[in-house]
Structure 1
Amino acid sequence: MSVNAQNYKTILEKTKAAGASLVAVSKIKPVSDIKALYDLGQRDFGENYVQELVEKQPQLPEDIRWHFIGHLQSNKIKYIAPFVHLIHGVDSEKLLLEIDKQARKNNRVIDCLLQVHVAQEATKFGFDGAEVTALIDRIGSGALALPNIRVKGLMAMASFTEDVEKLKQEFTAMKTLFEKNATRETSNLKLETLSMGMSGDYALALEYGSTMIRVGSLLFGARS
């Protein structure tokens, strides 16, 4: 089998024990690999590239929940708006407005996560803590009207490091920020999802309050 069934079982058990969910990151992996994991019971899959997602989606079962987890450009939203389940990396107000516009065209409400820049690396995207809180305040008060979007939570990519203390600090900061804003609730704002943790740090992320992990290489093997 092209996927690691034993790793999948182990990760799924840890995820369920923490009351969290698993997104299998299938970027650059063939449809046959995704189908193999689907046959083991997985339904949530994450893709990083719009063109790749659009090519794969019609070739696979309709009950797959597709997560877009990469850096999304405004001009590409229209291609995934008809079917995407959750957009993880919303890192600007401009992007939110365009998702709302494309969702309206497709007569849908699209679920989104706001991306927070918690890592020290310059390559990561996202809002800082104050910016995301201010944005949530504007959405919650209705000052920023987004009738075709539901903001479901926050997402972060921790530093790519083996320094466990650094990771703990970043995960703790995210959990604190999440809890601070989780009290706001309107028809299109309810923070339920804290998406953090990947193949290298998912166990620690679950320990520190993640409700959704994004795991690829442990399931599908290393990417070439």
Structure 2
Amino acid sequence: MSMEYTKERAEELLSKAKNVNDIVGKLGGGKTRLVCVSKLKPASDIKALYDAGYRHFGENYVQELTEKAKSLPKDINWHFIGGLQTNKTKDLAKNVDNLYAVETIDTEKKARKLNSTRENVSKPIINIFIQVNTSGEEQKSGISPEDCEKLAKVILDECPKLHLQGVMTIGSIVESKSGGINHDFIKLAEVRKLLQENLKVELEMSMGMSSDFEEAIKQGSTEVRVGSTIFGVRPPRNGH
């Protein structure tokens, strides 16, 4: 896995990342984290941003994340932000020492599996974001807002190798394109508020991507996941 990048590519990436980071810093008052989503992009792109000081990177596929983590610097904070199958949680927990966060936990089974594997391999605690289906659409991943508290309690009370860091959602693309208030973001803020009050915890909100990260920050997001705006359009996966 090559880490070599051209000066031109590095300049392009750094210019785009700086533009996004400046907006994130301005709108978030320095309190919002930027995760550069590098899925399907070469490790050399990540290395170029790493060399410029960026440390938080997001990946959507378990195999791709584990392969990149082996080759890239060990102080990168990896975020897994893709749909997670229960049978893949073991690979993720076992093979990525510097796994900063898994942001797509939406069942007790996934949480327990991630925790038990991490316990068996004696690796650091993983930050967890509960993925919430804020729109109620059947085709979307995530737990229903009503079931969040039960899952949160399992993570807090029964999973010592997991740290409940926040809640996450994918906002409506239609609402994002309209440029107005996004009701998915409103709903996530309500879920967060309720969990914080009932469970006496402080939680982050991970919401907002390339098309809507500015609106997400305005609505209280503490973390945004930005990919194509920084890295450019992604190639089709597996050539399809």
The TM-score normalised by the length of structure 2 is 0.84
Partner amino acid, structure 2, of 1:127: I
Structure 1's consecutive aligned runs of 4 or more residues displaced over 6 angstroms after TM superposition are none
Residue 125 of structure 1 deviates from its aligned partner by 0.4
Structure-to-structure mapping, 1:74-223, within 5 angstroms: 74-81=86-93, 82-83=96-97, 84-107=99-122, 108-119=124-135, 121-137=137-153, 139=155, 142=157, 145-161=158-174, 162-165=177-180, 168-184=182-198, 190-223=201-234
Q: 2:106 & 2:121 partners in 1: Cα distance?
A: 22
Deviations 1:29-80 (A, max 9, x none): 0011111111221100000111111111121111100110001112222222
The TM-score normalised by the length of structure 1 is 0.89
Question: Which residue in the other structure is 2:18 paired with?
Answer: 9
Q: 2:192 & 2:23 partners in 1: Cα distance?
A: 22
Unaligned runs of 5+ in 1: none
Q: 2:86 & 2:92 partners in 1: Cα distance?
A: 11
Q: 2:167 & 2:121 partners in 1: Cα distance?
A: 24
Residue 209 of structure 1 deviates from its aligned partner by 0.3
Unaligned runs of 5+ in 2: 1-7, 236-240
Q: Which segment drifts farther, 27-36 or 75-84?
A: 75-84
Q: 1:176 & 1:41 partners in 2: Cα distance?
A: 34
Q: 1:223 & 1:50 partners in 2: Cα distance?
A: 17
Cα distance, 1:207–1:9 mapped onto 2, change above 3 Å = same
What is the root-mean-square deviation of aligned Cα atoms in Å?
1.8
Partner amino acid, structure 2, of 1:74: T
**Which of 37, 48, 53 is the aligned partner of 2:49?**
37
Residue 160 of structure 1 deviates from its aligned partner by 1.8
Q: 2:136 & 2:143 partners in 1: Cα distance?
A: 13
CA contact (8 A) 2:155 2:162 kept: no
- The alignment of Structure 1 onto Structure 2 pairs a total of residues equal to 217
Which structure: greater helix fraction?
2
Q: 1:183 & 1:16 partners in 2: Cα distance?
A: 28
Question: Which residue in the other structure is 2:4 paired with?
Answer: none
**Which of 54, 57, 61 is the aligned partner of 2:69?**
57
Residue 5 of structure 1 deviates from its aligned partner by 2.3
